[in-house]
Amino acid sequence: MQYGDCVKSKPLLLLNITQLRRCAQRHAARDAALPFPISAYQDAAVLCLAGKIVSVGTTKDALRDPWLTKNRKKVTEIDCRGRVVLPGFVDSHTHPVFMHPRLVDFEKRISGANYEEIAEAGGGIRSSIDGVRKASKTALTQKVSLVLADLASHGTTTSRPNPATVSTSNLN
């Protein structure tokens, strides 16, 4: 799968989801002590249009939905029987633009080296910046595409879902 396939214009229907997990909208008074309230649904279906979740409900309700009945041949369906569907992880501190990983830096930090010692040894953020500055636009584009594809394959997304785009009612 190429990064960006999830936003194709073809509608997507996930059916027979054994367990659908989603972060519920927070209710200030009731959920103040809960960092991430979670809702769970059984035998669920999710309809996505233009890369956005437009409704959530049961598979039974989805299959009776008039819009889906009329447009079913245009919809990509994925049978999620025996699977759990959950929101993607949003990594708020991801730097996908780099040429070389800083694994040696991390190993040195774990071993007790401070940032100055790592920089003196040729590592640190300056080495990352130098690598990006020396790379061609083509090389950077290829690298970023690979990093984003890898993140997506592990469930990491780039933005927080908008609760206003999710309906827990029937798909109609």
Provide the pLDDT confidence category of residue 139 given band limits of 50, 70 and 90.
Answer: very high
* pTM, two decimal places: 0.54
Strand pairing category for 156-157 and 12-23: unpaired
Return the bridge partners of 78, or none: 14
Task: Supply the pLDDT for residue 104.
Answer: 87
Per DSSP (E only), the strands in the chain are: 12-23, 38-49, 52-58, 76-79, 84-85, 89-90, 156-157
Mean pLDDT of 78-89: 86
Task: Supply the pLDDT for residue 1.
Answer: 35
Provide the pLDDT confidence category of residue 171 given band limits of 50, 70 and 90.
Answer: very low
Is the pLDDT at 169 greater than 50? The verdict is no
Provide the pLDDT confidence category of residue 3 given band limits of 50, 70 and 90.
Answer: very low
| Burial group, residue 17, by CB count within 10 angstroms (0-12, 13-18, 19+) | buried
Task: Supply the pLDDT for residue 107.
Answer: 92
Task: Supply the pLDDT for residue 163.
Answer: 39
Task: Supply the pLDDT for residue 98.
Answer: 82
Mean pLDDT of 73-86: 91
Average pLDDT, the chain: 78
Task: Supply the pLDDT for residue 170.
Answer: 35
Mean pLDDT of 102-123: 90
Phi, psi of 69, deg, nearest 5: -60, -45
